[in-house]
């Protein structure tokens, strides 16, 4: 029986695991424990089993039809044909199996791209490590939105609630309490002094000591898995399946009519059955589902190369059709490399030099360097700012890095420039008492400290308007003065001005108090009578890549909406700088909350910048966009963003920043957090959408042309123009590879110049019309050749060989018609897709072998085509090609 940590006292657990809650484990301890316990990794989920994939292939309607055809062939005595069909079944199953297996492997391997991290303390230093490296005894920190990396006993909690649905099925979050004690047996859900691997922190914070890792954890014991990517059939695959089935149904109907007709017309049963078999085979779109999966899987891989990790094949398919992108500002549009630049206090601006998180820089007043201690209130402002943070500044390989929020990193760095750090203040006797963590709903954070001289201080920072509301006095030149309406107005004006420079602004305030040692006490104390200290203005420059990306979205007719929690002026300044808007109009979260459904739709349609937006507003925005039939990608990083991410067509989360909860709710993760990556993914999505449309066009027009071909033969009362074996040959040897090669087609010209439409369906009316017309043209050439040859008294065998050769080549070359959606197929990109040339090359060699090679002649009932007949055959191939090309060129012209 495993140890019941929840019943034990936390001190005794720490002791028994040789750990220390402040220092954590040391390096040698970690190494020893690693040796004993191994890595913190759950067993890989076995994908769908090999047998299952194999069985899937055989369950296919396509295969069933082929089996029936084979049985019929044996019954009417065409043994060779029967075997050939069986061979096709085996071939189809093997190809289907291999490609599906590989595609699934590729999708599964993407899981490892995003490694899970854990925040720990080791050797007395807080650091971020890979979650697989955790060992029992490690001290971990848990923050809102984290996925818990191992089973652990809590040693400190601050309003921590955890969602344990993945383990207990209970969707309500559970409140956790480090101090809870149990002496009787409790169920998992009741053990509120423990946290478990795979569950997620919904709110608050905690510190815990790891008690079990890997298979020893509760989730490991039940063998459940933590999935990084979602699986399942995409709508495209389902739609294709449906389409394939309807094609087959139509053919079955045609066969039925034909058989009845044949019997009435007195045609021999043998002929009728043979035609039926031929038609059934012609209709079967071999390779269709396989190609769909392969194309999507290739897309997924390509996207991850561009830093977009798609968690679901569906997203690959949808990305190309995105019509609007709703993006956060901080970290997505901007660098998230924050530096405190200006402090407004004592009615003037102090500037701070230096870049990034390197704690080197000076304080300047009117361009002159000053000592921070000289300026009244400056040290207090800097101390308040840096103590009121959860982030840490660490040095790794010589560079400073922030563990936690970048905004807070800026305050920690500024403090260090003046010679303060959390550690140095702690050493001087500053002792933390309580904390209200930051939350983007209420937009502030507060802490309380016991000072060495015996006093207690409350420090608060947050959005300036929120902070001003809480203050009734202000610190001016070292004296506490009343915060008059005129002063408030002055500060607001300054705030606006700094915002217009694109700076991110925090108000800082403080208060002296007593017994500030609980969050409840802080909650009452912050309600009023705080003393306003300063405005701290932080620079967070826009990312280099964003301007170009915005230009591209504009060209592509995609609307970009910036939806930020930051204040209006800052939002507008940044949005203008990157080109999202050129107007001053900014809609506030409040306006969104108050608008009626109709007003909201108008507001969203006519504006691009939204400020002070809460996660709830995000949901309203998504709803409104959905009503407008927009296809929307929306970014989010917090726990509360999860519902909006789920509701958006493409929920986008951040790989570097942001919470695991948001990641789990999203369809795509930006590995570099960059807005430009969304645009690249949309571009890639458009290529994939095109390529899917291209191979569907190719396969369907080819199959339909064969059905039309045989049908024409019957209408003209001709001997069967193609034998079942020949059709099988075209379907399997000639068609599949070129279709597959289309998955590697490079992007069309000006792909982002194409207007985004809300068309979700690849197989729309225009597309169906094009397929039908082109099928007819494809069938017409070889049919004319066949008619001419029969008329010219060539033997039936030769005539049929001509017809077979012409149809086969025309279908092979039809891949050139398919490779460009409109315009000329033979352009300068023609040489870029090697696979296409390989497929065509193989096709030509095989087809020539089918006509001229003895053994194949026997199987396919062909005879060598004499030289003098090559010209008419070529004409039957080239003329229809020419016609389709002409139509495509005109279609391309229309669009321009």
Among 357, 444, 532, 794, contact with ligand ATP (rule: CB under 6 A): 444
Binding mask 507-546 for ligand ATP (x = CB under 6 A): ----------------------------------------
Residue with smaller CB distance to ligand ATP, 392 or 405 = 405
Query: Which residue, 535, 527, 389, 537, is CA-closest to 471?
Result: 527
Q: In the range 214-253, which residues lie near ligand ATP by CB under 6 A? A: none
Residue with smaller CB distance to ligand ATP, 304 or 533 = 533
Q: In the range 831-860, which residues lie near ligand ATP by CB under 6 A? A: none
Distances (CA, A) of 7 to 13, 20, 368, 521, 635: 10, 19, 62, 30, 42
CB of 324 to ligand ATP, least distance (A): 17
Query: Which residue, 570, 541, 536, is CA-closest to 411?
Result: 536
Chain-centre distance for alpha carbon 514: 49
Among 566, 673, 674, 690, contact with ligand ATP (rule: CB under 6 A): 566
Among 69, 247, 443, 681, contact with ligand ATP (rule: CB under 6 A): 443
Closest residue (Cβ) to ligand ATP? Answer: 565
Residue with smaller CB distance to ligand ATP, 237 or 435 = 435
Question: DSSP 3-state assignment of 329?
Answer: coil
**Which range, of 205-213, 367-375, 435-443, 809-817, touches ligand ATP by CB under 6 A?**
435-443
Backbone angles phi, psi at 158, to 5 degrees: -135, 95
Residue with smaller CB distance to ligand ATP, 303 or 622 = 622
Distant-in-sequence, close-in-space partners of 489: CB < 8 Å, separation ≥ 6: none
Backbone angles phi, psi at 817, to 5 degrees: -65, -35
CB of 331 to ligand ATP, least distance (A): 6
CA–CA gap between residue 386 and residue 812 (Å, rounded):
69
**Which range, of 177-185, 264-272, 324-332, 839-847, touches ligand ATP by CB under 6 A?**
324-332
**Torsion-angle region of 51 (φ positive above 0: left; ψ -120 to 50: alpha; else: beta):** alpha
**Which range, of 215-223, 403-411, 724-732, 836-844, touches ligand ATP by CB under 6 A?**
403-411
Query: Which residue, 314, 363, 310, 355, is CA-closest to 337?
Result: 355
Evaluate whether 154 touches 178 at the Cβ level (below 8 Å). Answer: yes
Residue carrying structure tokens 């909860």: 661
Among 217, 275, 407, 640, contact with ligand ATP (rule: CB under 6 A): 407
Query: Judged by CB under 6 A, does residue 495 bind ligand ATP?
Result: no
**Which range, of 15-23, 159-167, 565-573, 778-786, touches ligand ATP by CB under 6 A?**
565-573
**Is 672 one of the catalytic residues?**
no
Evaluate whether 324 touches 630 at the Cβ level (below 8 Å). Answer: yes
CA–CA gap between residue 651 and residue 615 (Å, rounded):
13
Torsion of CA 269, 274, 277, 279, to 10 degrees: -100
Beta carbons within 10 angstroms of residue 883's beta carbon? 15
Q: In the range 449-468, which residues lie near ligand ATP by CB under 6 A? A: 461-463
92-129: buried (b, 16+ CB within 10 Å) or exposed (e) per residue?
Answer: bbebbbebbeebbebbbebbeebebbbbbbbeeebbbb
Query: Judged by CB under 6 A, does residue 820 bind ligand ATP?
Result: no
Residue with smaller CB distance to ligand ATP, 445 or 743 = 445
CB of 656 to ligand ATP, least distance (A): 13
Among 60, 375, 405, 674, contact with ligand ATP (rule: CB under 6 A): 405
User: Which residues in 346-398 belong to E strands, given as ranges?
Assistant: 348-352, 363-365, 368-370, 392-396
Residue with smaller CB distance to ligand ATP, 205 or 329 = 329
Residue with smaller CB distance to ligand ATP, 302 or 432 = 432
CB of 677 to ligand ATP, least distance (A): 16
Query: Judged by CB under 6 A, does residue 658 bind ligand ATP?
Result: no
Residue carrying structure tokens 């509701």: 647
Among 161, 330, 677, 847, contact with ligand ATP (rule: CB under 6 A): 330
CB of 149 to ligand ATP, least distance (A): 23
Among 114, 310, 506, 679, contact with ligand ATP (rule: CB under 6 A): 506
Query: Judged by CB under 6 A, does residue 564 bind ligand ATP?
Result: yes
**Which range, of 9-17, 439-447, 755-763, 776-784, touches ligand ATP by CB under 6 A?**
439-447
Among 151, 328, 569, 649, contact with ligand ATP (rule: CB under 6 A): 328
Residue with smaller CB distance to ligand ATP, 642 or 881 = 642
Evaluate whether 104 touches 52 at the Cβ level (below 8 Å). Answer: no
Identified catalytic residue from 328, 637, 641, 735: 328
Query: Judged by CB under 6 A, does residue 435 bind ligand ATP?
Result: no
Query: Judged by CB under 6 A, does residue 626 bind ligand ATP?
Result: no
Query: Which residue, 726, 714, 731, is CA-closest to 783?
Result: 714
Distant-in-sequence, close-in-space partners of 418: CB < 8 Å, separation ≥ 6: 363, 372, 378, 379, 382
CB of 652 to ligand ATP, least distance (A): 13
Counting residues that bind ligand ATP (by CB under 6 A) gives 19
Residue carrying structure tokens 């092979």: 812
Among 159, 440, 492, 861, contact with ligand ATP (rule: CB under 6 A): 440
CA–CA gap between residue 852 and residue 867 (Å, rounded):
12
345-348: Cβ within 8 A, 24+ apart = 345/375, 345/377, 345/378, 345/381, 345/475, 345/533, 345/534, 345/535, 346/375, 346/376, 346/377, 346/476, 346/477, 347/476, 347/490
Binding mask 346-385 for ligand ATP (x = CB under 6 A): ----------------------------------------
CB of 662 to ligand ATP, least distance (A): 12
Among 204, 285, 385, 565, contact with ligand ATP (rule: CB under 6 A): 565
Among 151, 408, 690, 745, contact with ligand ATP (rule: CB under 6 A): 408
Evaluate whether 501 touches 538 at the Cβ level (below 8 Å). Answer: no
CB of 310 to ligand ATP, least distance (A): 22
CA–CA gap between residue 508 and residue 462 (Å, rounded):
7
Chain-centre distance for alpha carbon 712: 48
Tokens of 785: 């050749």
Residue with smaller CB distance to ligand ATP, 506 or 724 = 506
Query: Judged by CB under 6 A, does residue 653 bind ligand ATP?
Result: no
Tokens of 461: 């920072």
Among 438, 675, 700, 816, contact with ligand ATP (rule: CB under 6 A): 438
Q: In the complex, which residues of this chain contact ligand ATP (CB under 6 A)?
A: 328-330, 405, 407-408, 438, 440, 443-445, 461-463, 506, 564-567
Residue numbers annotated as active site: 328
């Amino acid at each position: 029986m495993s140890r019941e940590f929840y019943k034990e006292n936390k001190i005794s657990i720490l002791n028994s695991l040789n750990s220390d809650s402040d220092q954590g484990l040391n390096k040698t301890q970690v190494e020893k424990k690693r040796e004993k316990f191994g890595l913190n990794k759950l067993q890989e989920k076995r994908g769908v089993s090999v047998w299952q994939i194999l069985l899937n292939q055989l369950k296919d309607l396509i295969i069933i039809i082929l089996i029936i055809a084979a049985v019929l062939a044996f019954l009417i005595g065409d043994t060779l044909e029967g075997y050939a069909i069986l061979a096709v079944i085996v071939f189809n199953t093997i190809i289907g199996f291999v490609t599906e297996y590989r595609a699934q492997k590729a999708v599964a391997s993407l899981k490892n791209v995003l490694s899970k991290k854990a925040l720990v303390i080791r050797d007395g230093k807080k650091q971020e490590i890979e979650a697989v490296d955790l060992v029992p005894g490690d001290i971990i920190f848990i923050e809102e939105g984290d996925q818990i990396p191992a089973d652990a006993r809590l040693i400190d909690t601050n309003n921590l609630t955890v969602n344990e649905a993945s383990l207990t099925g209970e969707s309500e979050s559970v409140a956790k309490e480090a101090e809870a004690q149990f002496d009787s047996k409790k169920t998992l859900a009741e053990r509120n002094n423990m946290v478990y691997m795979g569950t997620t922190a919904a709110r608050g914070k905690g510190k815990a000591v790891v008690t079990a890792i890997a298979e020893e954890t509760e989730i490991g014991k039940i063998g459940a898995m933590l999935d990084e990517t979602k699986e399942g059939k995409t709508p495209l695959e389902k739609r294709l399946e449906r389409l394939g089935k309807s094609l087959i149904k139509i053919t079955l109907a045609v066969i039925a009519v034909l058989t009845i007709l044949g019997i009435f017309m007195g045609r021999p049963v043998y002929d009728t059955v043979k035609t039926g078999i031929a038609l059934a085979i012609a209709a079967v779109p071999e390779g269709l589902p396989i190609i769909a999966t392969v194309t999507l899987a290739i897309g997924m891989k390509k996207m991850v190369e561009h830093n977009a990790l798609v968690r679901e094949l569906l997203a690959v398919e949808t990305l190309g059709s995105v019509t609007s992108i709703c993006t956060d500002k901080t970290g997505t549009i901007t660098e998230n490399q924050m530096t405190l630049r200006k402090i407004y206090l004592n009615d003037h601006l102090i500037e701070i030099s230096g870049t990034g998180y390197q704690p080197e820089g000076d304080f300047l007043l009117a361009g002159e360097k000053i000592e921070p201690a000289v300026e009244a209130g400056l040290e207090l402002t800097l101390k308040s700012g840096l103590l009121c943070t959860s982030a840490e500044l660490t040095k790794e390989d010589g560079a400073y890095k922030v563990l936690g929020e970048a905004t807070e990193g800026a305050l920690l760095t500024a403090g260090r420039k003046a010679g303060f750090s959390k550690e140095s203040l702690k050493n001087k006797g500053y002792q933390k008492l309580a904390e209200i963590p930051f939350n983007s709903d209420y937009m502030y954070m507060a802490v309380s400290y016991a000072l060495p001289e015996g006093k207690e201080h409350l420090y608060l920072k947050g959005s300036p308007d929120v902070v001003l509301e809480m203050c009734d006095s202000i610190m001016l030149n070292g004296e506490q003065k009343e915060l008059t309406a005129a002063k408030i107005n002055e500060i607001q004006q300054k705030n606006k001005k700094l915002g217009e420079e694109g700076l991110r602004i925090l108000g800082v305030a403080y208060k002296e108090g007593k017994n500030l040692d609980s969050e409840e006490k802080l909650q009452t104390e912050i309600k009023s009578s705080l003393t306003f200290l300063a405005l701290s203005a932080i620079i967070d420059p826009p990312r280099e890549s964003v301007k170009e990306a915005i230009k591209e979205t504009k060209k592509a007719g995609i609307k970009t909406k910036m939806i930020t929690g930051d204040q209006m002026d800052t939002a507008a300044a940044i949005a203008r700088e990157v080109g999202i808007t050129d107007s001053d109009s900014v809609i506030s979260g409040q306006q969104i909350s108050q608008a009626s459904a109709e007003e909201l739709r108008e507001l969203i349609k006519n504006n691009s910048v939204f400020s002070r937006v809460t996660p709830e507003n995000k949901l309203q925005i998504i709803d409104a966009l959905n009503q407008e039939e927009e296809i929307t990608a929306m970014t989010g990083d917090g726990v509360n963003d999860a519902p909006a991410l789920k509701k958006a067509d493409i929920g986008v989360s951040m790989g570097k920043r942001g919470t695991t909860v948001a990641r789990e709710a999203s369809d795509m993760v930006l590995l570099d957090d960059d807005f430009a990556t969304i645009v690249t993914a949309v571009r890639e999505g458009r290529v994939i959408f095109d390529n899917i449309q291209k191979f569907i066009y190719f396969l369907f027009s080819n199959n339909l042309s064969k059905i039309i071909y045989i049908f024409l033969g019957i209408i003209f009362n001709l001997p069967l123009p193609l034998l079942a074996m020949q059709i099988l040959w075209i379907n399997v040897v000639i068609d599949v590879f070129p279709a597959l090669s289309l998955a590697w087609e490079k992007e069309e010209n000006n792909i982002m110049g194409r207007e985004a439409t809300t068309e979700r369906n690849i197989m729309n009316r225009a597309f169906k019309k094009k397929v039908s017309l082109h099928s007819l043209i494809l069938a017409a050439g070889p049919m004319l050749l066949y008619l001419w040859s029969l008329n010219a008294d060539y033997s039936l065998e030769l005539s049929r060989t001509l017809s077979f050769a012409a149809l086969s080549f025309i279908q092979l070359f039809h891949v050139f018609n398919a490779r460009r959606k409109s315009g000329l197929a033979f352009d300068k990109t023609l040489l870029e897709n090697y696979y296409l040339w390989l497929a065509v090359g193989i096709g030509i060699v095989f087809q020539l072998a089918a006509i001229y090679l003895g053994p194949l002649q026997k199987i396919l009932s062909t005879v060598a085509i004499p030289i003098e007949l090559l010209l008419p055959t070529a004409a039957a191939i080239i003329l229809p090609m020419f016609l389709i090309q002409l139509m495509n060129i005109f279609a391309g012209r229309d669009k321009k």
